[in-house]
Structure formats: structure tokens, C-alpha cells
Amino acid sequence: MRVLILGGDGYLGWPTAMDMAAAGHEVLVADNYLRRRIAEATDSEPLLATPSLSERARIFRAVSGHNISVRIVDLSDADAMFDLVRGFMPDSVIHYAEQPSAPYSMRGFNEARETFRNNLDVTFNCIWAVKEIVPECHIVKLGTMGEYGTPNIDIEEGWLEVEHKGRKDTFLYPRAAGSLYHTTKVLDTDLLWFYVRTYGLRVTDLMQGPVYGISTPEADLDPRLCPNFHYDDMFGTVINRFLVQAVAGVPLTVYGKGGQVRGYLNLRDTLQCVRLAAENPAKPGELRIFNQLTEVFSVNEIADRVKAVGDRMDLDVKIESIPNPRKEKEEHYYNPTHTGLTDLGLKPHLMTDDVLAVMLERIIENRYNIQTDRIMPRVRWNG
């Protein structure tokens, strides 16, 4: 299968590219290094330096024999997107090419506009390039569980059957996200759904929870192949960030009451889910939505788990509640369905103490890279 990965330099894009190539697919990755530029500009570089995409592709070919083609290109430019798709004629497009930081998207007008334009324009161009050039191609789009927010009813898998005044219909599950970044993904979903039902495109929209992890079979072949591992307030997802805080001797910073519940998954499971989706495409005219998570935790539960494992490794972990920089419910109902990917064959890697301990060891090896001043929240939702 010819697999085009948009945003192939990212935390998930790069390991996905290696996983797909190792599975025998022909892989082309595209990226404009937007996340790298923002990370540099906001003093938020990852824990481990990551070589350029071309360099990583060379290293990966040397150690694995698998080829990954690389194109550095701005996909918010429609001509670039059309040229890319016309040149590669993909069977599957995996679309990660979005500015992924919620705090960055909430920092001010310029950051909001950059996030809004990049994310919407890339999705728009992707839809059109597929529709015009390879209409049978399957788009696998990375959405987020954050699109749903924290509703007071069970979160179904993308769709909701509503009975109202004795009549019934099925709708996209209502969405109400907590940041502009997450809201751009709500808008993406609306846009994809319009074009799917109007032109019969094939789309899988993956509502993914926060991902943790650094290790994948291919990333472990060479340290320079590891995904960009962020622990800062901009790009660091909460579990990764807590583990670094545990190693750095910085108290784990729980935002507010810590009762915020979310669905999480291991990086290895992201790769499984995306590959399962790509290898089992949606039907023409189908917007297939999966909730991509394996376990549900509150922030307090995660902090307690990290502390327990860290303390056993003599890290003396402290937990501290700080004022919540975000606008979100700190105690709420949360019950997401997530059976679709399991039905396709997902075998979860759960967040065991061993998994956390191995991650802590890797971070300890690189503890001298930790910059503690990029951990505390630098953006507040209320300005």
C-alpha cells in the first residue's frame, strides 16, 4: 500500500512512518517543520535531540533496510498538497499535519491564527487533493477525544442516536472542545463529514486521547530514531511531563483539583490503531469514527501512579496542585466507549508500573537535558 503521512516529523508521525515502512508499505512523509519552529521559538525543545527527517530516514534505512521518502513542504499551500498527492498517488493518507499544542493555540492572536489557518487549511487541501486526484484513497485523520469535551452523558464512538419528542435520528456526537487547538479538530470533523457525505470520500477520524511513551520497536533500533519527546507545558502530554518532573525533582503539577478524567494510550497503541485503520479502510461515503484510547485515568490517579513507581526508584516524588491555567471542569462525569479499534484487532499495551519504570529509566539517562523552567504553565486560558 502507498501511504502518505502528513506531519511525518511529529511525535506520532515519525514512529508511524517507521511502523508502516517496517510493515512493508511504501511510505512518503511530508512535513513543514512547523512544530520544530514553534518549539524553538517558545524554548520548548524535546528531551532528546531529533535529527532532521531526511537524516532520520537515512539512519532508519541503514539500521532496518526500510525506505521512507521525505518531502519538506508546507501543506497549507494548496499547490504543494496537490503536487504531493499527484506525484505519489497514495492509497492511504494519514493526516497528522496540525499544530498540536493546546496552550500554544491559546497564547494570543498570532498563535491562534497560525493554529487556525494551518490546521484548517491543511485539512481542506487534503480533502480536495484526494477528491480531485485519488478519490478512492482512504484518509485517516487524527482527531482528538478532546473534541467531545466532558459531556454529562456517555461518549459514544463518533455518533449519537437521539430520540426527541417521539422521533429518532443519528447525528455526529456533539462536540465542545476546551482549547482552540481542539476546536480546530472539531471543525475538521465537520468539514470531513460534509465532504464525505457529499462526494463519497472514505475517511476514518480517530478521536485519540493523550499519548504517552517513547519506545517503539523501530524507535528502539537507534536513539536518534526516537520520537520527539516533549515534557514542556506547550507540547508535553501529561504522563510524559509528570515522568520528567519526577526525575527532575520538580513536584508533579496537578492543575486544580486533578479530577479531570481523560482516556490515554501508549504510543505503541497509536501505531497499532493507525495501521489497523489504514489496512482496513472505511467504505466509500463512510466517515468512520473510532475513540482511540485504552485506559481512563484522572490526573490525580496518574500523579499517584507516577509517584508510586518513582518512589520505588528512590526519586522522592512530590505532588502539588497549582491553579488551573485552563478553563475546564475539574470534577465531571466521563465514560467513553472505545470498542471499534478493539474489534479491528487492537491489543492494548496498558500503563503498567513496568512501563512507567522503563520510561523513568530512559529519562534518568537523559536527566541532564531537562530544562525545568519549561515545565510550569506559561499560558493561561483567561489571558
State yes or no: residue 116 binds a second copy (CB under 8 A). Answer: yes
d(CA 46, CA 223): 13
181 counts as catalytic: yes
**Per rule CB under 8 A, is residue 174 in the interface with a second copy?**
yes
Residue of 35, 95, 175, 307 that binds a second copy (CB under 8 A)? 175
With CB under 8 A as the rule, give the number of residues binding a second copy.
Answer: 44
Dihedral, CA of residue 290, residue 292, residue 294 and residue 296, to nearest 10: -100
Which one of the listed residues 96, 104, 148, 181 is annotated catalytic? 181
How far is residue 367's CA from residue 128's CA, in Å, rounded to a whole number?
45
Stretch binding a second copy (CB under 8 A), from 36-44, 113-121, 270-278, 303-311: 113-121
Shortest distance, position 151 Cβ to a second copy, whole Å: 5
| Residue 132 or 316 with smaller CB distance to a second copy | 132
Do 206 and 167 contact (CB within 8 A), yes or no?
no
Measure the CA–CA gap between 28 and 13, rounded to whole angstroms: 11
Indicate if 339 belongs to the active site: no
- Specify whether 185 is catalytic: yes
CA 289 vs CA 89, 128, 205, 311: distances in Å: 24, 20, 5, 40
Select 49 or 153, whichever has its Cβ closest to a second copy: 153
Q: For residue 182, which phi and psi values (nearest 5 degrees)?
A: -65, -35
16, 115, 123, 144: the active-site residue = 144
Contact 146, 105 (CB under 8 A): no
* Shortest Å distance, C-beta 114 to a second copy: 11
DSSP 154-217: -B-SSEEEEEETTEEEEEEPP---SSHHHHHHHHHHHHHHHHHHHH--EEEEEEE--EE----T
121-150 residues in contact with a second copy (CB under 8 A) are 121, 124, 128, 132
Cα 278 from chain centre: 16
- Does 323 bind a second copy (CB under 8 A)? Our answer is no
Looking at residue 9, its amino acid is D
- 48, 72, 80, 187: which one contacts a second copy (CB under 8 A)? 187
The single residue among 65, 165, 347, 368 that binds a second copy, judged by CB under 8 A, is 165
Residue 273 CB-density burial (10 A; 0-12 exposed, 13-18 middle, 19+ buried): buried
327 binds a second copy (CB under 8 A): yes
> Within 10 A of 223 (CB to CB), how many other CB atoms are there?
13
Segment interacting with a second copy (CB under 8 A) among 155-163, 222-230, 317-325, 348-356 = 155-163
Which residues are catalytic, by number? Answer: 144, 181, 185
- Interface with a second copy (CB under 8 A): 78, 109, 112-113, 116-117, 120-121, 124, 128, 132, 151-154, 160, 162-165, 167-169, 171-172, 174-177, 180, 183, 186-187, 190-191, 193-194, 197-199, 327, 333, 381-382
